[in-house]
């Protein structure tokens, strides 16, 4: 089965694609799997790691929303993965590589989404970036400090998924664009569901190009990537659709992502994260054993950030209550 897949890659992949047999490999040598490619192994390792499971209780945009249909960091990741595979499949890229990058790209997100990230970046002496933390999780923290030993291409894609980043593979570029398509569309959908914005507030100049519904927008944005990439010989979105996407993104930042809009509890989340950071910075001996073992290699500040970044929203809230409330009230 593996050899059949590798042969198919040789026959059908685009010149832009990374063939599975052409991976640059891993930092630590491992025997090859007899029936999975290296990128399929990476995908499986990410899905089965603890950091991936915690995404289900981490904020995407809205903190502890009332309702069953709001996105979490987990559902965001799954939507990015689906869009990335659609782009990769249409362009004859390596879907397994794109999938592995997409599944791992947000592992380093903090509790309470970008609010927690901003707090740790502000108070930590070493700063904090969620994309760098995602790589740190799979290289240093998972498997009791051994890391997942992922391939170079997957690590590069995870690190370089920001809007202005430059991933080294076409599959990484597909994930970068898929991430933007996913969050622009589902954050808009969630904001409408929450009543934070109304349809008439959505910029019509962007909507007229991207589409009026979530499915239409996603379809049109993927099509704009596939058609433009075929013409350009690189993975990119058409200029017209990209400009409309950036306009919609700017609207979300001004109307949804600001502290006075969608994140009414942002100040509380900021205080909670800062309290936890200061508590464990002062008392590193109370860190869980798996994090205390990292203190031999990294600063206390760095390891405290590792611990807090790994928390789900619910875990962080429960821990805060345990540390601040009388035992009879917890």
User: Which pLDDT does position 61 carry in this prediction?
Assistant: 82
Superfamily of domain 2-329: Hypothetical protein af1432 (1.10.3210.10)
Instruction: State the average pLDDT for the chain.
Output: 94
Quote the pTM value. Answer: 0.95
**Is pLDDT above 60 for 261?**
no
Give the integer Cα–Cα distance in Å for 218 and 184. 10
Q: Please check whether residue 241 is in contact with residue 224, taking contact to mean a CB–CB distance below 8 angstroms.
A: yes
pLDDT tens, position by position, 289-301: 999 999 999 999 9
Would you list the domain boundaries of the chain? 2-329
CA pair distance 199, 89, nearest whole angstrom = 33
Work out the pLDDT band at 140, boundaries 50, 70, 90: very high
Backbone phi and psi for residue 249, each to the nearest 5 degrees, phi listed first = -65, -45
- Look at residues 51, 59, 101 and name the one whose alpha carbon lies nearest to residue 76: 59
Question: Please, which residues have CB within 8 angstroms of residue 219's CB and are 6 or more apart in sequence?
Answer: 211
Q: What long-range pairs does 193-199 form, CB within 8 A, spacing at least 24?
A: 193/67, 193/69, 193/70, 194/62, 194/65, 194/67, 194/70, 194/262, 196/255, 196/256, 196/261, 196/262, 197/255, 197/256
Q: Measuring CA to CA, which residue among 160, 96, 110, 136 is closest to residue 266?
A: 110
Express each pLDDT in 87-131 by its tens digit. 999 999 999 999 999 999 999 999 998 899 999 999 999 999 999
Q: Cα separation of 199 and 213, whole Å?
A: 10
């Amino acid at each position: 089965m593996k050899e059949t897949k590798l042969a198919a890659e040789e026959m059908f992949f685009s010149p832009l694609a990374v063939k599975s047999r052409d991976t640059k490999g891993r930092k630590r040598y491992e025997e090859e799997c007899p029936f999975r490619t290296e990128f399929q192994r990476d995908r499986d390792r990410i899905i089965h790691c603890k950091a991936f499971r915690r995404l289900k209780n981490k904020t995407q945009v809205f903190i502890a929303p009332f309702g069953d249909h709001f996105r979490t960091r987990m559902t965001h990741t799954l939507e990015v993965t689906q869009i990335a595979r659609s782009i990769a499949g249409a362009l004859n890229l390596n879907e397994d590589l794109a999938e592995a990058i997409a599944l791992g790209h947000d592992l380093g997100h903090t509790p309470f989404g970008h609010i927690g990230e901003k707090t740790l970046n502000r108070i930590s002496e070493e700063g904090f970036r969620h994309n760098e933390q995602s790589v740190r999780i799979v290289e240093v923290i998972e498997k009791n400090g051994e890391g997942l030993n992922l391939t170079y291409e997957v690590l590069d894609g995870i690190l370089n998924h920001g809007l202005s980043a430059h991933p080294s593979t076409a599959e990484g570029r597909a994930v970068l664009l898929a991430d933007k398509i996913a969050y622009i569309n589902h954050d808009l959908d969630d904001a409408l569901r929450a009543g934070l914005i109304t349809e008439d507030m959505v910029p019509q100049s962007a909507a007229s190009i991207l589409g009026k519904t979530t499915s239409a927008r996603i379809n049109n944005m993927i099509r704009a990537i596939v058609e433009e990439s075929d013409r350009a010989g690189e993975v990119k979105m058409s200029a017209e659709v990209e400009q409309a996407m950036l306009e919609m993104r700017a609207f979300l930042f001004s109307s949804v992502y600001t502290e006075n809009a969608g994140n009414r509890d942002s100040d509380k989340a900021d205080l909670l994260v800062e309290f936890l950071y200061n508590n464990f910075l002062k008392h590193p001996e109370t860190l869980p054993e798996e994090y205390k073992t990292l203190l031999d290699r990294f600063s206390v500040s760095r390891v405290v950030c590792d611990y807090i970044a790994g928390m789900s929203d619910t875990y962080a809230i429960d821990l805060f209550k345990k540390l601040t409330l009388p035992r009879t009230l917890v």
